[in-house]
Amino acid sequence: MDSSTADAPVHKHHHAVQFYGNEQSLFTTVAGFLGEGLITGQPAIVIATESHRVAIVEHLCGRLIDCESARRSGSLLLLDAEDTLGQFMIGDEPDADLFEQNVGRLIQQMVDGRGRPLIRAYGEMVDVLWKQGRPEAAIKLEILWNKLALKYSFALLCGYAMGNFYKQARHLEGVCEQHTQIIPHDTHDAKVIAFDPRRVARTA
């Protein structure tokens, strides 16, 4: 399977992860994933660091997406990863209720009045947690995303810098288990793994 998530079937429980060695490969994947949705009327949410948000928008514009118009209409929402984390983290743990109240509310707002379209989201809050040396919190956050997928129709792509795993290799399998599609580091093949959101939700 090709490494571009835009070439993979996207459904309401689609939860892919991009392990990236260089940022350009990440931006290409994210722009393909979100851009395909935007041109077919699927709203997009980006929760990323400032530099990554800027680069993702540039790549979307390079695909002839009118990002300013999409933002004005509410079809493209750009959020800061650390600011969003601050809305639901309590100490070193993501709080399930606060996550639902904040992130779930954003998804609901994008759905309202649009005929319940599939929403595409890219998030790297988990990568921020990993870089901070909190891999357990990142995995718990992945589980909360999967729980949220039981309530709302959205497809999610997560990004992880591969360099973060050299010191935390034992947690790599735990990350992979939470995703339906794995895009490996510096390859052109993606592995699809079985995913049952009800099973994942019970592990939280």
pLDDT by 10-residue block (mean), the chain, 204 residues: 42 79 92 94 96 97 96 96 97 96 92 81 95 92 92 90 69 80 56 37 39
**What pLDDT does 13 receive?**
64
Indicate the length of the chain as a whole number: 204
Write the CB contacts of 66 (distance below 8 Å, at least 6 apart in sequence).
Answer: none
**What pLDDT does 192 receive?**
33
Q: Flag whether 89 is in a domain.
A: yes
Q: pTM (2 decimals)?
A: 0.82
**What pLDDT does 4 receive?**
40
Distances in whole angstroms, Cα of residue 49 to Cα of each of 82, 113, 190: 7, 29, 25
**What pLDDT does 69 receive?**
96
Q: Which residue has the tokens 């998530």?
A: 5
Phi, psi of 184 (to 5 degrees): -70, 165
**What pLDDT does 177 receive?**
84
Q: Flag whether 93 is in a domain.
A: yes
The total number of structural domains that make up the chain: 1
> CA 61, CA 2: separation in Å to the nearest integer?
23
Q: Flag whether 62 is in a domain.
A: no
> CA 122, CA 144: separation in Å to the nearest integer?
15
Q: Flag whether 105 is in a domain.
A: yes
Phi, psi of 161 (to 5 degrees): -70, 125
Q: Flag whether 63 is in a domain.
A: no
Identify which of 140, 136, 149 has the alpha carbon closest to the alpha carbon of residue 107. 149
Q: Flag whether 33 is in a domain.
A: no
**What pLDDT does 198 receive?**
39
Q: Which residue has the tokens 């339906």?
A: 180
**What pLDDT does 111 receive?**
82
Q: Flag whether 38 is in a domain.
A: no
> CA 25, CA 35: separation in Å to the nearest integer?
15
Name the residue range of residue 18's domain. 5-22+83-202
**What pLDDT does 115 receive?**
72
Three-state DSSP at 77 gives strand
> CA 98, CA 57: separation in Å to the nearest integer?
28
Q: Flag whether 57 is in a domain.
A: no
Distances in whole angstroms, Cα of residue 89 to Cα of each of 104, 109, 141: 15, 21, 10
